[in-house]
Amino acid sequence: ETGVTQSPTHLIKTRGQQVTLRCSSQSGHNTVSWYQQALGQGPQFIFQYYREEENGRGNFPPRFSGLQFPNYSSELNVNALELDDSALYLCASSFGGSGNTEAFFGQGTRLTVV
């Protein structure tokens, strides 16, 4: 167990809807990164939050957005869901922002878009 918790664990949404995924980081960690993992693929970096500010973004459209709260928990929001958004969404917590060498992942949220 890493101490990183994500909710919900599974979710089914309809194309065009909006979804919010949540992540509680490990105690003492101030950085949260979000990844999308399609079946049979490696995780793809969406964005990172460090001390409530976005600190880097991957190649994802603006309909993927996020927040980090003062307690360092985080949300990932996806608008106008598409079928290709079906994936496992992973949250990773770490300490220190850029250059931290070990990330602790949550169990993920399995999103299915129908």
Partner 1 sequence: GQSLEQPSEVTAVEGAIVQINCTYQTSGFYGLSWYQQHDGGAPTFLSYNGLDGLEETGRFSSFLSRSDSYGYLLLQELQMKDSASYFCAVLNTDKLIFGTGTRLQVFP
> Which one, of 22, 35, 36, 16, lies nearest residue 79 by Cα?
16
Give least dist CB 79 to partner 1, A.
Answer: 22
Map residue 68 onto helix, strand or coil.
strand
Give least dist CB 81 to partner 1, A.
Answer: 23
Take residue 50 and report the two structure tokens written for it.
């460090």
Q: Is 2 in the site for partner 1 (CB under 8 A)?
A: yes
Q: How far apart are CA 78 and CA 101, in angstroms?
A: 28
> Of 7, 56, 61, 79, which one interacts with partner 1 (CB under 8 A)?
56
- What is the DSSP track for 7-19? E-SEEEE-TT--E
Q: Is 45 in the site for partner 1 (CB under 8 A)?
A: yes
Q: Is 112 in the site for partner 1 (CB under 8 A)?
A: no
Strands 109-113 and 10-13: what pairing?
parallel
Give least dist CB 109 to partner 1, A.
Answer: 11
Binding site for partner 1 (CB under 8 A): 2, 4, 33, 35, 40-45, 48, 50, 55-56, 58, 90, 92, 97-99, 101-108
